[in-house]
Amino acid sequence: MIEILNSILKERIEQVKELPEESIFADPEQPVGIVVSTGIALAGKSSFLLYQLKRILEEGVSEDDILYIVCSDVRFHRMSYQLLEQIFAVYLSTRVSLQTSKKYVFIENLPVLSAFGTFVEHLLEHHGVELYVSASSAEVIDFLSDEIIEEQLQLFETFPYSFQDFLMHRGVVFWETLTKQSSFLIEQSFETYKQKGGFPHLVDVSQEVRRTSLQQNFEKVLFKDVIDAHDLSHPRALLDLAYFLLNQSASFHSINRLTQVLKNLGHKAPKGVVADYMLWLEDAFLFFSVQVYGESKARAKTNLKKIYCVDHGFIGALSVEDLSNDQILEQVVFLELRRTTTDIFYIKGKGGKVVDFYVFWPDSRMLIHICSSFKGRGKKKRLITFLKDVMLKHSIEKCVVVTQEEEENIQTEVGTIQIVSAWRFLLDIEPYKEDLELEEDETVREEVSNEDIRKEDVEMQRAEESRREEKREKQIKEEQINEALKKDDPAKINNDNLKEDIEKDQKYLKQEQSKPENKNQLLKSFLSDTAKLVSSSFEYSVIAAGSFVMGENDASHEVDLTHDFFMMKTCVTQKLYKEITGQNPSYFTGEECPVEQVNWHEALLFCNALSQKEGLKPCYTISNEQVFLDWEANGWRLPTEAEWEYAARAGANSIYAGADNVEDVSWFNGNSEGRTHPVGRKKPNNWGLFDMSGNVYEWCWDWYSEDYYTLPESRLNPIGPIWGTERILRGGCWANGSKNSQVARRSISNPLSRNYAIGFRAARRPY
């Protein structure tokens, strides 16, 4: 284990060397006890930890005094409190000199662990460590309520780029005196920011890559930080709810209304369950809610909440409804406010009208309304009259109206109404704040704070405690299952007493992946979780570059893939094959079943034809029996064997592609009833790929060689031997046993062979 820890630390130190000199993150106050960075996945939490590591190293701290744990590393599969203790004990046992030196512990991508507080308390009280943690769930904070911890706890929330961060990333100067030219450049950048969103790694990519990556990120957060974290075996209602909210960002909702929405979509989710769903979605930082201001707790709970998404890029990538410019501006402004405070409300006025935001900081406040344009007879006059009434009622002397481009200062008998363009407001909100001096306002603010309302209900607290207890029991059960999996062949475990527990633990979407035939077309659009191409017949997922351990047992070896690529979510269907070639050679018929009886050369011809239809550059030049592959072309091609296994594993250490239970993910001879089945009916893996285990074998590009992966060139972007007589097959099929469906299992066949158990799926580079 110590070798793993050393390699992780060295990797992170190398990444520190590549960091930009200037950090966008604030440094924690000294002395440090425990620093926790929370926020949605891929927003920069790991970068925050790297900057803290950089600071510590620059202060002269020895590498021997630093422990760096990456919980998402596949080698630490199923992170637990016991495993954390074991890692720390192993670390101490190899660092004798550390008995008198200060220790620095980093924990990256921490999952929700009920006993984490006990571990932290032990580190702080008995070892005097500085502890730095990143987590994608706000629920982690709930387990750090011990008095010893709270006294030393510093919280940092990490969000996607603000508009200022976005400008800095693009090298646009905004902190100097603005000229007409620089103002125009910033204004244009704001339009780009509204479209792209703020995820740092997607700012400079193409529109297609950004769209598919955002779709994949949204799905990943839902499955990893919500469905998996709360052990949902039937998550369809939650998925439908998440996509519905995304399409309704900056709109009003209540638990009653959302329960009715799910009912209309065919779900029988009671109000308590829907309330849990909303809590979990907020804990995962996917959505935020804004409460009405100034009413009693009881009445506040019955009023509608306004819901906002964590990044407007998600809306553009996944929403099927066009939000108004007012809604987009409101979404962007909310995120800017939320970065600085949680005390955000809306105000109800006369006639059911609302002012969008009433915001508090420790010593100031701000009343903000969004109105993209004043076009329309009397619109401006009516709004000013309404805002004056609200200002008078709440003794507010300053109100800000954020517009697309209009700017004006209006002096009224009750105070100033400042009309400002959105881009200018986002550059610096400080001048628009109003000093907070009224005691009664602060009292009301404390009474109706979002956090108090969120946790007020005693029954919900008890229910939450009950769920935590269930989690603790589940954690113990998982450890028992893991031990069993280490000792037994998974195929045999199906027959022992652990069968029910394993199936329950692994079954996320079984029977949920069938097409929602009875749902309306809008819902089908909501459930589109990866990008769709010009052809409506297939979808693909973005597979991010990375490293993994390929193969199994003594034949395992580390492989680095330095390029992102796209891969079809399913193997090529008979419908798609016929659409491109006009033929269907399959033995088993069914439009949504995989095409089979296609040899390796015919698969290449299909890839070229599909590329031409999509306007892409074909990868293959075929002359007689010789095939030349242009690796720089952006057309569709067969994946290499390494790409196939990397995509099938999807960052997990499971036996099959997406699960340890073969029944969840594979059609094999134990359940296939002697034939192929429609694609996409089993559980997908973490990258949204279906049927990577079972149904039909899949052709890969590589020639077969028994000793190829013992060669040095097989470690970096391997493409297989330069010649051979057999081509690689992967994935197993409907006619074979479960072992053939394992992600590490290799098979081969003559490239001219046509078989009703062999199909294929295609991959390509993003650009």
Contact 677, 671 (CB under 8 A): no
pLDDT tens digits, one per residue of 604-653: 999 999 999 988 999 999 876 688 899 889 999 999 999 999 999 999 98
Q: Which among 365, 480, 518 is positioned nearest to 434, based on CA atoms? A: 365
Average pLDDT over residues 163-177: 88
Q: Which among 173, 168, 211 is positioned nearest to 532, based on CA atoms? A: 211
Residue 537 pLDDT class (50, 70, 90 cuts): low
Q: Tell me the pLDDT of the chain averaged across its residues.
A: 84
Residue 533 pLDDT class (50, 70, 90 cuts): very low
Contact 709, 551 (CB under 8 A): yes
Q: Report how far apart, in Å, the C-alpha atoms of 722 and of each of 381, 470, 605, 691, 702 are.
A: 76, 54, 20, 29, 9
pLDDT tens digits, one per residue of 231-265: 888 899 999 999 999 988 998 998 988 999 899 88
Q: Which among 742, 739, 708 is positioned nearest to 723, based on CA atoms? A: 708
Query: Residues 1, 112, 549, CA angle at the centre, nearest 5°?
Result: 35
What pLDDT does residue 507 have?
43
pLDDT at position 282 over 60 = yes
What pLDDT does residue 17 have?
94
Quote the CA–CA distance of 211 and 271 in Å, as a whole number: 33
Domain regions of the chain by residue span: 2-158, 165-204+285-454, 456-506, 532-764
Alpha helices by DSSP H, listed for 622-762, are 641-649, 662-665
| 420 Cβ contact list (under 8 Å, min separation 6) | 400, 401, 402, 403, 407, 432
Average pLDDT over residues 6-17: 95
pTM above 0.85, yes or no: no
Q: Please state whether 674 falls in left (phi above 0), alpha (psi between -120 and 50) or beta.
A: left
Name the E strands within 45-136.
Answer: 66-70, 104-110, 130-135
Q: Which among 599, 598, 603 is positioned nearest to 568, based on CA atoms? A: 603
Query: Domain 532-764 belongs to what topology?
Result: paralog of FGE (formylglycine-generating enzyme) (3.90.1580)
Token pair, residue 23, equals: 């950090």
What pLDDT does residue 673 have?
87
Query: Residues 590, 594, 595, CA angle at the centre, nearest 5°?
Result: 90
Ranges 436-440, 483-487, 554-558, 678-682: which has the least confidence? 483-487
pLDDT at position 296 over 70 = no
Q: Report how far apart, in Å, the C-alpha atoms of 552 and of each of 549, 652, 744, 745, 746 are.
A: 8, 14, 6, 8, 11
Report which residue type is found at 154.
Q
What pLDDT does residue 467 have?
53
What pLDDT does residue 174 have?
86
Average pLDDT over residues 382-410: 94
What pLDDT does residue 270 have?
92
What pLDDT does residue 532 have?
34
Q: Could you tell me what percent of the chain has a pLDDT over 70?
A: 84
pLDDT tens digits, one per residue of 467-490: 555 555 555 555 554 554 444 433
What pLDDT does residue 459 have?
44
Quote the CA–CA distance of 694 and 656 in Å, as a whole number: 9
Quote the CA–CA distance of 450 and 447 in Å, as a whole number: 9
3-state secondary structure of 306: strand
Contact 451, 290 (CB under 8 A): no
Token pair, residue 312, equals: 């407007």
Q: Which among 337, 338, 312 is positioned nearest to 327, based on CA atoms? A: 312
Residue 708 pLDDT class (50, 70, 90 cuts): confident
Question: What phi and psi, each to the nearest 5 degrees, are found at residue 565?
Answer: -155, 160
Residue 399 pLDDT class (50, 70, 90 cuts): very high
What pLDDT does residue 262 have?
92
Quote the CA–CA distance of 698 and 361 in Å, as a whole number: 58
What pLDDT does residue 536 have?
41
Instruction: For residue 766, give the DSSP letter.
Output: -
- The pairing of strands 727-730 and 697-703 is antiparallel
Higher-pLDDT residue of 147 and 394 is 394
Average pLDDT over residues 490-517: 37
Neighbours of 27 (CB within 10 A): 12
Ranges 14-28, 383-397, 598-612, 619-633: which has the least confidence? 619-633
Q: One fold for both 2-158 and 532-764?
A: no
Average pLDDT over residues 11-24: 91
pLDDT at position 503 over 70 = no
Residue 26 pLDDT class (50, 70, 90 cuts): confident
pLDDT tens digits, one per residue of 331-371: 999 999 999 999 999 998 887 789 999 999 998 999 999 99
Quote the CA–CA distance of 361 and 642 in Å, as a whole number: 53
Instruction: For residue 637, give the DSSP letter.
Output: B
pLDDT at position 404 over 50 = yes
Element (H or E) spanning 288, and its range?
strand 287-292
Residue 761 pLDDT class (50, 70, 90 cuts): very high
Residue 108 pLDDT class (50, 70, 90 cuts): very high
Average pLDDT over residues 699-720: 87
What pLDDT does residue 74 have?
86
What pLDDT does residue 599 have?
94
| 215 Cβ contact list (under 8 Å, min separation 6) | 317, 318, 528, 529, 530, 531
What pLDDT does residue 677 have?
96
Ranges 250-259, 316-325, 377-386, 461-470: which has the least confidence? 461-470
Neighbours of 378 (CB within 10 A): 9
Token pair, residue 722, equals: 């330069």
Higher-pLDDT residue of 533 and 416 is 416
Higher-pLDDT residue of 45 and 466 is 45
**Residue 589 burial (10 A CB sphere; 0-12, 13-18, 19+):** exposed
What pLDDT does residue 649 have?
95
Place of tokens 């079954």: 507
Task: Say whether domain 2-158 belongs to CATH 3.40.50.300.
Answer: yes
Token pair, residue 660, equals: 């340890």
Average pLDDT over residues 222-235: 89
